[in-house]
Structure 1
Amino acid sequence: MEMMILSILAPQLHCEWRLPSWQVALLTSVVFVGMMSSSTLWGNISDQYGRKTGLKISVLWTLYYGILSAFAPVYSWILVLRGLVGFGIGGVPQSVTLYAEFLPMKARAKCILLIEVFWAIGTVFEVILAVFVMPSLGWRWLLILSAVPLLLFAVLCFWLPESARYDVLSGNQEKAIATLKRIATENGAPMPLGKLIISRQEDRGKMRDLFTPHFRWTTLLLWFIWFSNAFSYYGLVLLTTELFQAGDVCSISSRKKAVEAKCSLACEYLSKEDYMDLLWTTLSEFPGVLVTLWIIDRLGRKKTMALCFVIFSFCSLLLFICVGRNMLTLLLFVARAFISGGFQAAYVYTPEVYPTATRALGLGTCSGMARVGALITPFIAQDLISTSLFPTVEAEKDGGSYQIPSKAKEG
């Protein structure tokens, strides 16, 4: 929800605060800057002090600044506060680390992929929430209400168990055994026979471990995969609202209608139709995860990622062709389904390839590289696209010359 809100908040503040396109893009990028700068830190905290501890602190951090950003009086304040929200979100991928360490190999891919269902539910719920909240209460209440699930998680965190693998690695055998007994009791199964061997490791979560000869190329390739994946996924999410705002630009340009200058920085609020189309493209994440779930154990992790990226690239290239609104929505639907599926395949592959001692750090650095790709996307999906769709024209006011964007309109 905190990520999906970016594609709704940006066009709203663009209109309400009369922001130029580069400031709108910066509003989104600063969130990814915060995520990028904190991902490795949260991974290190999780390896040093526990998966549950790192996840709980990051969620409370995000909750605090998420609510606080709703009271931002000016642009500079919301820029700083949303950046701090991004700093907290950078620790959320550690939930995958915690979850993966409770799963057997045969169920790991299926269970981690099913997390994507709840990511998709969050994005869909955010759009539905915006449909009801934005027209009456505005974006400030949307920010507050979007942080409520984080508060719920903070309360439920008391029942969340710490990773038994982590407890063994940190030498806390009693706590690990207590967790295993709790699992056995809740599953109605007996404890396995045998003795839990203490395997304490002092050097946990060291960056140099990611660049040993055995892991060096794996780390570099995973960084590139996560970078490309986030660049494509968030770029498509942000591009969707820009394309819907632009209207039927292709048919307009083909008829060679005159460009009409508009004030208010060519501002267009999202209409009900825009929200509904945005909801349809967001729903694509459900079939995306189901398709990935079906093929990942049949083709393997690497081939699944490759297939998802190829189909996404093909559908994205078709967006260059002038198509109608329905075909545009369909292409965005298919592209988003497969890029979200590829993202989840990367989430499955990454925790599996690193050992327990560096798993959280490995996932954290990959998440950090993903944010590097994501922070670039707003300047392409919002600023560059906006400039190409809405060319600027010279205008006169009070004897002075200035530039305003104009939007091609019919009639």
Structure 2
Amino acid sequence: MSAPGIPSRASLAERLDALPFTRRHFRVLSGSGVGWALDAMDVGLISFIIAVLAQQWDLSKAETGWIASVGFIGMAIGATLGGLLADRLGRRQVFAITLLIYGVATGASALVGGLAMLLVLRFFVGLGLGAELPVASTYVSEFAPRRIRGRLIVILEAFWAVGWTAAALIGYFVIPASESGWRWAFALGAIPAAYAIIVRWGLPESPRWLASRGRISQADRIVAAFEADAGITGGPLVHKAPTPRAIADHAATRLGTLWYPEFRVRTLCIWVIWFCVNFAYYGAFIWIPSILVDAGYDLVRSFGFTLLITLAQLPGYAVAAWLIEVWGRRATLSVFLAGSAVSAVLFGTATGVGAIIATGMALSFFNLGAWGALYAVTPEIYPTSLRGTGAGWAAGVGRIASIVAPLIVPVLLAAGGAPLLFAIFAGFFIVAAIVTWGLVDRRGQALDDR
């Protein structure tokens, strides 16, 4: 039994789940969300910059495809390493380091004079970005009370729409303003380097992670601070037999444990879903500005269309955030993926400005709502000792698709144009929607703190 006066890991988890939403929760959510938005801004900017550099540097489709794909190679490596490091070193520490890496690399990209150096820096941008996203969702999920955990993760993911909208605004107003507009866009991407310092010192470490490492007193102080913020003081501690030891303590063991019989089906399913959604999302949204330019619209008009399409992301997140605690994770994710499939087919066959914008907005609405649900369900399906690793490797496998997609898009466009391209994207969304039903749904349940 736990010694008198010392909270067990179980009691810490129960106290976290019993909390109302407090100012400290808001600080964790908004602090992580701003980092998430800055990430989205960087990914979004490259889609606009590619369209400009293709003209300024007279790049081929293959070369512009590599500008996108080399970043995703870095993201694939970063996601797998970031998850392992987050389980080893802590969520907050890795979150801050990754922001610093990609912020510096993005700022340095403003100074490049040719394709080779840009590709090198884009790799390091991807390395930081890929590690940060699964770590941030894991971090927030471990603070969130269980009755609103899914909703908070979808709200966290909604910051992606804020960042992508910022990228679209920069793409519309800054990049076309001068020949060096794309350099100013990269310079703005250096903001995360400064923000990393705020993250490192301004946010608490995850008490669930601290408890999993045996640092119970530190975890208790953090939970007590949240309780004090909610007006809960001097409440009775719940003493229980210690929960089982962490399932895995070493990186190699954690990776192998993902394929134990208990986790095998959910690991396979979540990897397939991440692969399919990444392929369709990045294949479409990285190339939309360039596809519109190729269709005969000038840069300013194509960037304006993309801005309008991007604005539909926010209501998509809002609806997903509500439904995820009403329908559950699997139903919400599968419905939004099915909606993405239908929207992709309609967008690929759209003609005329009104149809392009309407179907593009529908694609944004459903696709980004699906992303919100996916980020909510991923960290929940694994115990604390595996959570960072499981989320990171799922994201890493997904990044393999995001590497391949921008390279395949020019080939598919040449073979059958936008109708063929977006029909293939729809097929990937349908596969993901079906496989979603192989996941566990932990709506309203406590996280597994093994």
TM-score scaled to structure 1, two decimals? 0.85
For 1:177, what is the secondary structure of its paired residue? helix
- The alpha-carbon deviation at position 34 of structure 1 amounts to 0.5
Structure-1 residue corresponding to 2:325? 297
- Give yes or no for the alignment of 1:105 onto 2:134: no
- Give yes or no for the alignment of 1:132 onto 2:173: yes
Structure-2 residue corresponding to 1:408? none
- The alpha-carbon deviation at position 67 of structure 1 amounts to 1.2
- Give yes or no for the alignment of 1:245 onto 2:293: yes
- Give yes or no for the alignment of 1:332 onto 2:360: yes
The amino acid across from 1:187 in the alignment is A
Q: Summarize the alignment of residues 194-205 of structure 1 with structure 2, pairs less than 5 Å apart.
A: 194=237, 201=246, 203=249, 205=251
Structure-2 residue corresponding to 1:172? 215
Greater shift in the superposed pair: 306-315 or 43-52: 306-315
- The alpha-carbon deviation at position 188 of structure 1 amounts to 3.0
- Cα 1:389–1:313 shift into 2, 3 Å: closer
- Cα 1:377–1:196 shift into 2, 3 Å: farther
CA distance in 2, matches of 1:126, 1:331: 21
Write out per-residue CA displacement over residues 196-241 of structure 1, whole angstroms, 9 at most, x where no aligned residue.
7776646155101100001111101100001111111112212321
Structure-1 residue corresponding to 2:7? none
Write out per-residue CA displacement over residues 296-329 of structure 1, whole angstroms, 9 at most, x where no aligned residue.
2222211111111111111211234352121011
- The alpha-carbon deviation at position 384 of structure 1 amounts to 4.0
Q: Is the 8 A contact 2:277 2:398 kept in 1?
A: yes
Mark the runs of 5 or more structure 1 residues left unpaired by the alignment.
249-267, 391-411
- Give yes or no for the alignment of 1:230 onto 2:278: yes
- The alpha-carbon deviation at position 186 of structure 1 amounts to 2.9
CA distance in 1, matches of 2:170, 2:396: 29
- Percent identity among equivalent residues? 28
- The alpha-carbon deviation at position 339 of structure 1 amounts to 1.2
Structure-2 residue corresponding to 1:409? none
- Give yes or no for the alignment of 1:286 onto 2:314: yes
Match of 1:270 among 299, 303, 311: 299
The amino acid across from 1:91 in the alignment is A
Match of 2:231 among 182, 188, 207: 188
CA distance in 2, matches of 1:208, 1:365: 12
- Cα 1:332–1:221 shift into 2, 3 Å: same
- Give yes or no for the alignment of 1:160 onto 2:193: no
- Name which one, 1 or 2, has greater alpha-carbon Rg: 1
Q: Is the 8 A contact 1:24 1:382 kept in 2?
A: no
Write out per-residue CA displacement over residues 16-35 of structure 1, whole angstroms, 9 at most, x where no aligned residue.
11111100001100011101
- The alpha-carbon deviation at position 371 of structure 1 amounts to 0.5
What is the root-mean-square deviation in Å for CA atoms of aligned residues? Answer: 2.1
Write out per-residue CA displacement over residues 164-191 of structure 1, whole angstroms, 9 at most, x where no aligned residue.
0111110112211221122123333225
For 2:398, what is the secondary structure of its paired residue? helix
Q: Is the 8 A contact 2:107 2:187 kept in 1?
A: yes
Q: Summarize the alignment of residues 18-33 of structure 1 with structure 2, pairs less than 5 Å apart.
A: 18-33=58-73
For 1:106, what is the secondary structure of its paired residue? helix
Greater shift in the superposed pair: 310-319 or 330-339: 310-319
Structure-2 residue corresponding to 1:261? none
CA distance in 1, matches of 2:193, 2:416: 38
For 1:233, what is the secondary structure of its paired residue? helix
CA distance in 1, matches of 2:353, 2:379: 40
Mark the runs of 5 or more structure 2 residues left unpaired by the alignment.
1-40, 419-450
